[in-house]
Amino acid sequence: MAKEFKISSARLKELEDELNYLKTTREAEVAEQIKEARSFGDLSENSEYDEAKNEQAKLYGRIAEVENVLAHAVVIDDEGAGAGRVGLGCLVTVSDLETGDEDQYEIVGSQEANPMNGRISDDSPFGRAMLGKSAGSMVEVDAPAGQLKFKIISIEKKN
């Protein structure tokens, strides 16, 4: 069975818009680049043609990737909503029990993860440890850097 991609409805819309752009506007632009490069003559020594063909290959690769994600997408917006438990789409405020630092993270599907911006995948060690927990829970995370301990301060459903 193919891997399912958990994504929000906003991310689903972004991917649909990107696919539409790639298949219409961008594909026409790349076709024009190839056409223009062909007009320069001998294709065996034409770096513009090689570059345009490489760009076309990247474009088709990205189209295939987006189509695969859309074909196996599972929209997760309401998971964990109102239950008082951590689920996908929740903003979780945690306190590091070792340092006392407080941080806020959004738990998202793997396609939307961006740890540098506080968007943590549900497939990551941190995300897996948080799922299903409630405010006030102590959570141990088995991370590559060792075992980390957190206390969940609050859980909010992101709008």
| CB contact burial 99-119 (16+ within 10 A = b; e otherwise) | eeeeeebbbbbebbbeeeeee
Confidence of residue 159 (pLDDT cuts 50, 70, 90): low
Q: Where in the chain is the domain with CATH 3.10.50.30?
A: 90-157
The residue ranges of DSSP E strands in 20-89, in sequence order, are 73-75
pLDDT number for residue 60: 95
pLDDT digits (tens, 9 = 90+) for 54-94: 999 999 999 999 999 899 888 876 544 456 788 888 899 99
DSSP secondary structure string for all residues of 121-139: ETTSHHHHHHTT-BTT-EE
Residue labelled with tokens 């943590």: 120
pLDDT digits (tens, 9 = 90+) for 93-118: 999 988 889 999 998 888 888 889 99
Q: Where in the chain is the domain with CATH 1.10.287.180?
A: 5-75
pLDDT digits (tens, 9 = 90+) for 8-49: 777 889 899 999 999 999 999 999 999 988 887 777 777 888
The CATH number that domain 90-157 falls under is: 3.10.50.30
**Cα 6–chain centre separation:** 9
- The domain over range 5-75 is classified in CATH as 1.25.40.10: no
Flag whether the pTM goes above 0.85: no
